[in-house]
Every structure is written in structure tokens, then in C-alpha cells.
Amino acid sequence: MAEQPLIFARGLVKRFGDFTAVDGIDLSVAPGEAFGFLGPNGAGKSSTMRMIGCVSLPTAGELRILGMDPARQGPAIRARLGVCPQLDNLDPDLTVEENLITYARYFGMPRGLARRRAAELLEFVRLADRAGGKVEPLSGGMKRRLTIARALVNEPDIVLLDEPTTGLDPQARHLLWERLFQLKRRGVTLVLTTHYMDEAEQLCDRLVVMDGGRIVAQGSPRALIAEHSTPEVVELRYGQESPAEVAVKLAGVGRRVDALPDRVLVYAEDGDAAAAQAHERGPAPASVLVRRSTLEDVFLHLTGRTLVD
Amino acid sequence: MAAVGDARGARPVSPASTLAVLERALTVYRRVWRGSVFSGFLFPVMFLVAFGIGVGGRVGQVGGVDYLAWIVPGVLAATAFQTAVGECAFPVFGDFRWTRAYHAMRATPVRVGDMVAGWLLYIVVRVEIATAAFLLVSALFGALRSPWAPLTPLVCALVALAAAAPMMGVAARVEHDGWFALVFRFVVIPSTLFGGVFFPVERLPAVVRPLAWLSPLWHGAELNRAATLGGVPPWPVAAHLGVLVAFAAAGAVLAWRCFSRRLED
Ligand SMILES: Nc1ncnc2c1ncn2[C@@H]1O[C@H](COP(=O)(O)OP(=O)(O)OP(=O)(O)O)[C@@H](O)[C@H]1O
Ligand SMILES: [Mg+2]
């Protein structure tokens, strides 16, 4: 028999007044999986995460976390979750270390153990040297790391990370990714949201693309690209001509041609060949870039919009 | 309306989580306690000096005792009352709006009931520290005249709960901190001035006397006075206690509701 999913949702809906933020989604996350939500602002990612985190009750539909019902067993479920919310809510009145110890106590951890765990986690996110300091002077990336450390304090079965790396510099992002990889190797189930397709590709075994409260595609990053895009993409920029006009002339080149406000995208099996063809048919481009297809292209194809707007 | 994810009929509080909430409050307090000594201790002492010795010298006796001994139990209750209201205004409001500490707790097994109970315990700790110091000074002033005086910390704890619980509800409910100025102006100050702290409510016109009865402070002041002076309070002791307990219980339910409402979405 297949293992029971840790997170299971069917027809999950969240409404705020008349507004439907999450519009009937189905989910199933297996133990040990790294699962991602990808989508633009307002897609309903955080609303979904908050329902999974049992801090927001579904308006309709079925939701089971760790086999339990969030409406009736909230505290028991939350005891086994680690949550990194989109907005940091570290306690500014406490030191870095006290933030972790206090939080561990909310999970009923004995003091001594909480202290040891806090020290371990501060090592893990490389904040040990700030242990006795205040939270406020930490940089954005340090606060994010502390929030993630806090989410791990109870050794959770599922870690929910809502945009864990937004606002971080590349170095801090890579450190975080590396830490999340370590968790994954230990068998922790990760659920994360992101605007960054590279993050989704790096971290997620499987992901769903959300738009307007619905799931518009799902699968592994590779499968999504294979299904909804071509192996390669040519990005063409022009001097005078508008991308829309050029796109008309390029019709038939590669598998598909899309005009963006600042460039034309040609989707093709063979990027170099398509670039040469575009050169023949259209005006001379100011710049040409041949690259692999990414989730961004998948998203653009599915929704007609870019991910980061 | 149920708190998010709390089973209907499940225990509203768990002792371990409540203690964790109390611990957090005390950890924060440990850093600022020096400042609070001023309001919790020095302030009432200045009151005693000014009113008891300064004013008392002219007033002479009230109810058969000197004025200082008469106001000590009242000021004791007023200290508990003001500390409780003050600590449940901005600090609670801020933990929803600024620090979002309650939102952080909500993502853990801590329940709304634990948040309310933990903070109420903290208030009791704060009030007891202030009360103990104040009692000591009063004893030095020779203002404690009855062997029942050691009961006053219990009365003060009840006054604190009766004031803190509803105030927590208000702090969780209001959208703007401007409301707190109104609470101080129309509840705390009138209670302190007319709630039997500085003069017997019998001196008030009969029509407004019932207003004093509505304040937990008056009941606390009268119970404390009976304890420090050895007299009999105006109402039966059980009635005074009952009013305080009713305020605390109704306030706790209100606080629980307002917290749940603020945290749900
Ligand atoms: N508490 C709330 N009350 C009313 N509307 C809300 C609330 N929370 C979210 N919404 C609305 O629901 C929609 C989805 O919001 P959500 O935060 O889930 O999006 P998101 O995918 O996380 O976006 P972002 O990438 O910007 O974080 C938005 O239109 C938002 O305005
Ligand atoms: Mg979001």
C-alpha cells in the first residue's frame, strides 16, 4: 500500500468575504517530499500555506494534515509542524537565543533541551555569534535564517516555508538552499512557496503552479518544462521594431513565438537553428540569447504573464 | 466561534503552554523591571507621603483611624488596578500589532486560552511584586492595624484579574490605541478618585454611589481596608469577592473571544 500522504487536500477553498483567494485545489504531499508552490503575487500561495499550517480554517473542501483534521486537532498538528511565515514575526523584546528557547517552550520542550537545541540551530544557520544580541539589528537575511531556525526547533515532520529567500542576497540564498537540502536529506518534508523559478527547480521534487487561486499545472520541474515548453528558448531583443510586430514576421519559426514588452521569445527544439532562422526572416536583432527552458517559460505559457511582476 | 483549530469541547488551556506564555512575559520583564519599580513602588510611596502625611495632617481622622492608615488599603488596591490595566493596554495591543508575538504563538500548540491565562498570570506576578513592596513600606509607616493584613495580596490579585481580563479583551479588540486614553480618562481615573480610595463612597451623592459599586477597585479597596484595619466591609465579604470573581470570569471570556477573533482569518 502506498504511504499515507502527510498533506491531503481536496476541493480546498478559502474565501475572504466575497473574494475567493483559493478556489478549489487538490493536493497530496508524500513523506520526505519537497513540494513547492509557484505563482505570482496574489495567486493564493500564502492563503494555502496558512490553511496547511492550521492557523486559518478552510472555507470549504477537505483538508488532512498528518492524517488529522485541522478544524478539530489544530494544536496536535501544529505540534509537529515548523512554520516560517512570509513576514518574520520574531520577538523584538527577546535576544536571538531567547527567541528560540521561548519558542521551544511553546512546544513543551524542557528548558535544558531547549537551550541545547537553540545552540545547535544557531550553529546550523550560522548565527551563533549573535546569540546574545537583539533581533532588531540583524540584517534581513539573518532574520530570515533565525525564523527558519525557529521553525526547526521542535524537530518538525513538515516544514512550511513561505518565500524563505525573498529579499536575500545571492550568498544568503545559497546558504539557505544548502541548509534546506540538508533537511531534505534527513527526511524532513518541505513545503515551500516561491517566486523564483531557480529556487523551485533547485529545491522541489514536485510543484504546483498557482494562478488566481487555482492550480494551473503540476509535476516535477523537469516534467513541467517538458510538457509545457520546449528544450530551448531564444530571447531576441530589437532596436527600433516593436516585439509584437517582429513576432508576426517570425511566425512559424521554432515551435512557438511569444512577444513580451521588451523582447521576443522563440521556443524551439534547437535554439541555434531557430536563432539563425529568425535572423533570416526578421530584422537584425540587437541581441540574441539561446538558453534552456525554465519554469518561468512554463508559467508564461500557462498564464500569459511573467512570474515576478 | 471556535478558536482556530481548537476542538469544540477540548480543554481551553493546557498548563504547560500557559507556563510557556508566562515565561516569555517574564523573560521580557526581566530586562525592564528596574523601570517598573518606579511606577509599582515609588509612586504609591509618594502618594502615601503626600496624602497620608501632608493632607492627613489637616484631615485628621477618617472612620476612627488616622488618614494615612485609612488610605493605605485603598492605594494598595488602586496600585493593583492601575498596574493591571496599564500592563494589558499597550503591551497586549503591541503583541498583536507590533511584535506579532501572538501570531507567532498561534503557529505552535499554544491555544488562545493559554495566551490569555499566561498573560493573566504574568499580571498577577507583577501586581504581587508591587503589592509586597508597598505592604512593607506601609508596615514601616505603622499603617497596618490588623492581623488580617497579610490577606491583602490575595485581594490585590483578584482586583488585578478583575481589571486585567476585560482590558485584555479591549486591547485585542480595538483598532486604534487612542482608545486607551479614553479608558484611562473615563474608567481608571474616576475609579481611583471616586472608588473609595481617598474618601468613603458614602460621601458621594446617593445617585452616583452605584457607579462606584460597578468598579472592581471599590470592592478591592473595601476588602483591603477590612483586612488592614480589622473592620467589617460595607457588603458581605462573599458579595465583594463575588463581584471581583465575576469581573475576572466575564473578562476572561471576553478576552478569549477577542483574541480568537483577532487571530482567526
Ligand atoms: N486576511 C485576508 N483578508 C482579505 N483578503 C486576503 C487575506 N489574505 C489574503 N487575501 C487576498 O487573497 C489573495 C491571495 O493572497 P495570498 O497572500 O494567498 O497570495 P500569495 O500567492 O501568497 O501572494 P504573494 O506572492 O504576494 O505572497 C490576495 O488577493 C489577497 O489580497
Ligand atoms: Mg504570499
CB A168 within 8 A of CB A96: no
* A308 close to ligand 1 (CB < 6 Angstrom): no
Q: What is the pLDDT of residue A282?
A: 84
Suggest the residue from B8, B19, B24, B103 to mutate for an interface test with chain A (most A CBs closer than 10 A): B24
Residues spanned by the domain of B226: 15-263
Report yes or no on B8 lying in a domain: no
The H or E element that residue B171 is part of is helix B152-173
Provide DSSP, A22-48: EEEEEEEE-TT-EEEEE--TTSSHHHH
**Burial zone of A189 (CB within 10 Å; 0-12 exposed, 13-18 middle, 19+ buried):** buried
Q: What is the pLDDT of residue A17?
A: 93
Burial profile B116-148: b = 16 or more Cβ within 10 angstroms, e = fewer: bbbbbbbbbbbbbbbbebbbebbeebebbbeeb
B-chain CB neighbours of A72 within 8 Å are 5, 7-8
- Asked if B15 reaches chain A (Cβ–Cβ under 8 Å), the answer is no
Provide DSSP, A146-200: HHHHHHTTT--SEEEEESTTTT--HHHHHHHHHHHHHHHHTT-EEEEEES-HHHH
A199 phi, psi to nearest 5 deg: -65, -45
Q: Which residue is closest in CA terms to ligand 1's atom 9?
A: A47
The Cα A250–Cα A244 span in angstroms is 10
Q: What is the pLDDT of residue B142?
A: 87
Closest partner residue to A56 among B16, B28, B265, by Cβ?
A: B265
Total number of domains constituting chain B: 1
A-chain CB neighbours of B28 within 8 Å are 91, 93-94
Does the reported pTM lie above 0.95? Answer: no
Q: How far is CA B140 from CA B133, B136, B137, B231, B262, in A?
A: 11, 6, 5, 21, 46
Reported as a single tens digit per residue, the pLDDT across B168-223 is: 999 999 999 999 999 999 999 988 888 888 888 888 888 888 888 999 999 999 99
* A179 close to ligand 1 (CB < 6 Angstrom): no
Nearest CA in chain B to A103: B105
Q: What is the pLDDT of residue B21?
A: 98
The bound ligand whose nearest atom lies closest to the alpha carbon of A85 is: 2
The Cα B253–Cα B262 span in angstroms is 14
Q: Enumerate residue ranges in chain A where pLDDT < 50.
A: 1, 309
- The best mutation among A12, A13, A45, A48 to test binding of ligand 1, ranked by most ligand atoms within 8 Å of the C-beta, falls on A45
Reported as a single tens digit per residue, the pLDDT across B96-151 is: 999 999 999 999 999 999 999 999 999 999 999 888 888 888 898 888 999 999 99
Say which residue, A79 or B2, is predicted with more confidence: A79
* A84 close to ligand 1 (CB < 6 Angstrom): no
Reported as a single tens digit per residue, the pLDDT across B8-63 is: 556 788 999 999 999 999 999 988 777 777 766 677 778 778 877 787 777 878 87
Q: What is the pLDDT of residue A305?
A: 66
Which atom in ligand 1 lies closest to the alpha carbon of residue A56?
1
Q: What is the pLDDT of residue A140?
A: 87
Reported as a single tens digit per residue, the pLDDT across A173-219 is: 888 889 899 999 999 999 999 988 888 888 999 999 999 999 999 99
Q: What is the pLDDT of residue A306?
A: 60
Cell matching residue A202? 533547485
* A16 close to ligand 1 (CB < 6 Angstrom): yes
Report yes or no on B111 lying in a domain: yes
Reported as a single tens digit per residue, the pLDDT across B52-103 is: 778 777 787 887 888 889 999 999 999 999 999 999 999 999 999 999 999 9
Closest partner residue to A107 among B23, B104, B108, by Cβ?
A: B108
Domains defined along chain A, listed by start: 7-218 (3.40.50.300), 230-292 (3.30.70)
Q: What is the pLDDT of residue B2?
A: 44
Q: How far is CA A168 from CA A134, A182, B111, in A?
A: 20, 19, 33
The angle, 0 to 180 degrees and rounded to 10, between the axes of the packed helices B216-229 and B152-173 is 170
- Asked if A102 reaches chain B (Cβ–Cβ under 8 Å), the answer is yes
Q: What is the pLDDT of residue A114?
A: 97
Q: How far is CA A143 from CA A56, A101, B7, in A?
A: 24, 16, 33
- Rounded to the nearest 5 degrees, what angle is found at the Cα of A274, between the Cα atoms of A271 and A276? 110
Q: What is the pLDDT of residue A309?
A: 44
- Asked if A89 reaches chain B (Cβ–Cβ under 8 Å), the answer is yes
Q: What is the pLDDT of residue B10?
A: 66
Report yes or no on B34 lying in a domain: yes
